[in-house]
Amino acid sequence: MESMENHNYLKKSAAAAGVLLAVLLIVLKLFAFIKTDSLAIFSSLADSVTDLFASMISFIAVYFSTKPASRDHRYGYGKTEALSAFLQAVFVGASGLFVIVDGIKRLIYPVQIEQTGMGIAVMLFSIFATFLLVVYQTYVAHKTNSLAIKADRAHYTVDFLTNSAVIVSLVLVYFFGFFYFDVIAALFISAYLLYNAYTLAAESIEQITDKELPSDIRKKVIEIVQQCNDVKGMHDLRTRNLGGIYYFELHLEMDGSISLSKAHQITEEVEKNILEIYPDSQILIHQDPYGIHENRLDHQIEGMCKL
């Protein structure tokens, strides 16, 4: 129990750190943008604004995902992390589109950048602070295996890379007066935002719509079941991701002449062996007499219903 409480504390602290960093960087980048009028800084500022919303959503998702199952949510609240990822994708995508429009506008009507030294200083601090956050979130993700923290870490990792690109653009403008590179860098950053928005949306929709777990996990579960004593077969395996907790549902085929107590004992052995490989997973097993003929989900999926 203490370990679970510690994990919940780590996840909440990592999510809160993301919120605090986003607020700090918004203030600094807004000041730098006002002084430099750099579109690259502006695009990074817009990204920090989306970071704030994303981190706030991640914090809320972590709060709910750590709540135990309730009367109205008997599967728990794990899918709030998938929902938060989808909302993050919306914010990130909208930000990317906005910066692209502004970048095209500045290609037509260029704006001269001033005081790039201040912009470089702000972005260097941003890179350093983001690096520290990513390190801490990596530690928390490793300890807790939280999908919400992993998603937030991935988002800030992109920030670290894109902010480095901003530094390059500011240096080129400062030393060589290549003002158009500022616009080009902003457009590339926007492309990064849109790509990450697509990735986040795709992954979140897969979880929300209960896409099957990867084939290697399904194969491992089948292997575990087939190695159990007194198990004569299995069918209708269904899997899904409940916010980082795996859910397995299957039909177990056993000798129809054994007692209910014996069938229960075999089922308990199967569950125990699966939990050894996939701890904290939820497992639902239905027992069937071996050799009966019925219309199965496997047959429906394969397009050959059998009776």
- pLDDT number for residue 294: 79
User: Could you tell me the CA-to-CA distances from 263 to 34, 95, 221, 255, 289 in Å, in that order?
Assistant: 72, 56, 19, 9, 10
Question: Domain spanning 2-207: which CATH class is it, in words?
Answer: mainly alpha
- pLDDT number for residue 1: 39
- pLDDT number for residue 170: 66
- pLDDT number for residue 259: 94
Per-residue pLDDT of the chain (307 residues; tens, 9 = 90+): 345 677 778 888 999 999 999 999 899 888 888 877 776 677 778 778 878 888 888 899 888 887 877 888 888 888 888 888 788 778 778 777 877 776 677 667 665 555 456 667 777 888 899 999 999 999 998 887 777 788 788 778 877 876 776 677 667 766 776 666 667 777 777 787 788 788 878 888 888 899 999 999 999 999 999 998 899 999 999 999 887 678 999 999 999 999 999 999 999 999 999 999 988 789 999 999 998 887 888 878 876 554 4
| Extended beta strands in the chain, E state | 233-242, 245-254, 282-289
Domain ranges of the chain: 2-207, 215-302
* Cα-Cα-Cα-Cα dihedral sign, residues 147, 152, 155, 160: negative
Q: CB under 8 Å to 37, separation ≥6 — which residues?
A: 111, 112, 113, 114
- pLDDT number for residue 107: 65
CB of 172 closer than 8 Å to CB of 181 = yes
Question: Domain spanning 215-302: which CATH class is it, in words?
Answer: alpha beta
Burial class (CB in 10 A: 0-12, 13-18, 19+), 306: exposed
Type of residue found at 229: N
- pLDDT number for residue 19: 93
- pLDDT number for residue 117: 65
